[in-house]
Amino acid sequence: PETIYLSDYTAFPWTAKSVDLHFTLDPHATRVRSCIRFEPNPASPNGPESEMFLHGEKLKLIHAKIDGAPVTPTLTNEGLTIAVPSGSFTWEAEVEIDPANNTALEGLYMSGGMYCTQCEAEGFRKITYYPDRPDVMSVFSVTIDGPHPVLLSNGNPVVTSDNHAQWHDPWPKPAYLFALVAGDLIAHSGQFTTRSGRDVTLNLYVRPGDEGKCAFGMQALKDSMKWDEDVYGREYDLDLFNIVAVDDFNMGAMENKGLNIFNSSAVLASQETSTDLNFERIEAIIAHEYFHNWTGNRITCRDWFQLCLKEGLTVFRDSQFTADMRSEPVKRIGDVIDLRGRQFAEDQGPLAHPVRPESFQEINNFYTATIYEKGAEVIRMLKTLVGDQAYREALDLYFERHDGDAATIEDWLQVFEDTTGRDLSQFKRWYSQAGTPRVAVNEAWADGTLTLTFTQTLAPSATTADPQPQVIPLAVGLIGKDGREVASTQVLEMTQASQSFAFEGLTEAPVASILRGFSAPVVLDHPLSDAQRAHLLAHDTDPFNRWEAGRNLAQASLLDMIRTGVKPNAAYLAGLKTVVTDATLDPAYRALMMGLPSHSDLATALHDAGDIPDPEAIHTAVETMRTAQATDLAEHLEELYAAHQVSEAYQPDAAQSGARALANAALSLLSRNDGGALAQQQYASADNMTQQLSALGAAIRAGVGAPMLEQFQQQWRDDRLVMDKWFALQVVQAKPEDAAATAKALTEHADFNWKNPNRFRAVFGSLAMHHAGFHHGSGDGYRLLADWLIKLDPVNPQTTARMCSAFQTWKRYDPARQSLILEQVNQILTKPDLSRDTTEMLTRIAE
Ligand code: B3K
Ligand code: ZN
């Protein structure tokens, strides 16, 4: 496959003044007529050209015309080439496509009888011939004929009737934001008035039967619209905003202009069928897609190398939104857990790449934790460095200067330079250097002065051979011996490889609380004693670092347990007890305190320290630690559980979710002591999915879950989203030696519809995340996943390629596991006609 380079960018030689599309829908023979007005692009370096290339894949060309005269283009698998006049001209084409056989879920496809589209990144070329690149922006008019009551496209409706509709989108957009939906759908409607008085109709379109799961999503949309006005001054710009729920979808959701398309799991919610975490995720995704209207749509990306320009910024915006709607520290801690689990692991392995990559083969493989989550961290650091006010001014300038543009990271940084006068050239290394920097801390105490010396290192990697020092904002506070804060948070700006900062006028040596709020996405090596960590766990005034102190104690103890088989650290257990029983602390926060690093995080930490992680030893240590928690907290668990039962009517808000999270964390430990009796009781009386599913999980772990699993299946067999949970839970809760067999048995279940990405991920995403199960020494987990990836690749390359990342950590394991994994990777790679997506992923992984 061909490699594409950022440095090769050139503008398209034409601009598309207008695009008219006419769809005549048919499952196997949809006709698409297109009429595009092209004009020479003055920004094109070579001036007008005599031949035009248009992307097009899996299209049957019926006819083509230029300025009304029939033409015969040269066709390849990637598109067509045609001689064109030197000035402006009109291109017309008619193609035929087969949505019913489009199992890749990219382009126009069918899901449960409805038509829908997914065009980002390069799916529009499967709909018609087009310059399918984000810097070609045009005004689209769309006509749809088809035997369905609901026919939707972007923008505002011009004509809507059964079987025929016309749409016009006044905002120029790249083709990746095009969308079309047709089906027998039901609208759940709402209304929003923007701050300048525009009345916007809001619709959430769902399949009949799902009407009862719309209210929460609708409210989340209204909250998002209001928040973007209040916090960023951004208003909505059409008369209509539509969201459609689709069951077969490769990811969470898509921000098509005025017509967002959602995986049904990312929008449908009800108390009975969705957990508190589902509600929170849905609220965040609705916000994310809505926020894209400005950061992504009104200002889009010049090319796909700039993907983080819209994704990092929009993730950052949605994290601010969730922090405002719910709890800031709880959101921050959750995000950092996620970042370490996914992005740090990516950075540590062969898939490491910069936030702005410089080459790729298949762009769909770059919708990664690095682009999204690290991209958001980079913006958070920028805001920390310039301050809230300058951040807002820079954003205002960005929207003013680049509205309607296809922009770059250079444009983005320029508005910050222009607003603040700062030179951001060193900061820009966060976009070009791959890998997680490590920051080592050295403390020196003398004569009332604490001197902190920081040393940053970044390991060379495939894309970053000669790493240079980055700008690292280090938020630091000091905690005195009596537990009071003796220096409040200051942001130290580290720019050199090694740098010292002095805190003077202190009366005694304090404990330094460093990287407060996780002020930079780095690994901090701060050698503290258990006693100092326990002191921070008890007293740190920064909620993130207080949690972090507990996490560090737990992690250090687990690593010792794994390495030497010692008992759990008593200082950790004592500190945990104090925090967990402190009724002045937010229950959600206390629930997070009870968490442990994941098996995979522990493997990452062991590898970082030069050890070879043993998945079985990790599993044993975590189980021992859980049992120790259960024993040590035994006298408090029932009270914690009882005190956090919610008696009011169910609400998925932060307060109730937090109470349930703490009660269920207590239940999970209690079940280790009572054989699952309380879990059985909770299961029987649950009136919401959070309670039902937590009880079921605890009961399975206690060995008494089988009848409940059966009952659950009976109760929910007609609900696709709940059945995904049923499939996932059994793999998640399986013993390591049973995980692969459990997954295999589930693939033989009548409801295992493997072409549905949600169902496939329920089983195999769960298997890949079951560290001790997937990496079981038998190799059964590797083999099972590889067999199914081979089966899925011709059907759905995108989902296959994404799941290949399960193999990305292979180099950190022992030689036996390494060869078991490589054998499977190579077996997939030798399949004839393997997709470009999967080939690129596995080639990079195996390198
Ligand atoms: N922009 C889309 C992701 C498209 C993924 C294409 N493989 C959703 C989002 O980030 O909002
Ligand atoms: Zn996004």
Residue whose CA is at the smallest distance from ligand 1 atom 4? 120
- 552: tokens are 């560090």
ipTM for the complex shown: 0.99
> Which residue, by CA, sits nearest to atom 10 of ligand 1?
311
- Measured by CA distance, the residue closest to atom 9 of ligand 1 is 254
- Cβ(376) – ligand 1 distance below 6 Å: no
Q: 300-432 adopts what CATH topology?
A: Neutral Protease; domain 2 (1.10.390)
What pLDDT score was predicted for residue 45?
84
pLDDT value of residue 1: 82
Tell me how far the alpha carbon of residue 288 lies from the centroid of ligand 1, in angstroms.
10
Residue 635 burial (C-beta neighbours within 10 Å; 0-12, 13-18, 19+): exposed
CATH class of 438-527: mainly beta
Ligand nearest to the CA of 121: 1
Question: What are the extents of the domains in the chain?
Answer: 1-184, 300-432, 438-527, 717-847
Cα 257 to middle of ligand 2, angstroms: 13
Q: Does pTM top 0.90 for this prediction?
A: yes
**Which residue's CA is the nearest one to ligand 1's atom 5?**
120
* Domain 1-184 classification at class level: mainly beta
Whose tokens are 């016309």? That residue is 166
Counting ligands in written order, which one lies closest to the CA of residue 106?
1
Per-residue pLDDT at 75: 98
CB distance 629 to 573 below 8 Å: yes
pLDDT at 46: 80
Intrachain domains 1-184 and 438-527 with the same fold: yes
Report the C-alpha dihedral over residues 584, 590, 594, 596, rounded to 10 degrees: -130
Encoding tokens for residue 46? 């070579």
Whether residue 210 has its Cβ less than 6 Å from ligand 1: no
What is the dotted CATH code of the domain comprising 717-847?
1.25.50.10
Instruction: State the distance from the centre of ligand 1 to the C-alpha of 429, rounded, in angstroms.
Output: 25
Residue that the structure tokens 């011996």 belong to: 481
Could you give the residue ranges of the DSSP H alpha helices within 196-327? 215-232, 276-291, 307-325
The per-residue pLDDT for range 42-74, each reduced to its tens digit, is: 999 887 899 999 999 999 999 999 999 999 999
Q: Which residues are catalytic?
A: 289
Q: Is the CB of 280 under 6 A from ligand 1?
A: no
- Could you tell me the distance, in angstroms and rounded to a whole number, from the CA of residue 252 to the centre of ligand 1? 8
Greatest Cα pair distance in the chain: 88
CB 212 within 8 A of CB 270: yes
Q: Is 295 helix (H, G, I), strand (E, B) or coil?
A: strand
Residues of the chain with pLDDT under 70: none
Amino acid type, 499:
Q
Eight-class DSSP state of 42? T
Is residue 28 a contact partner of residue 98, using CB atoms and an 8 Å limit?
Answer: yes
Tell which atom from ligand 1 comes closest to the C-alpha of 255.
11
d(C-alpha 516, C-alpha 316), whole Å: 18
Say how far apart CA 773 and CA 727 lie, in whole Å.
16
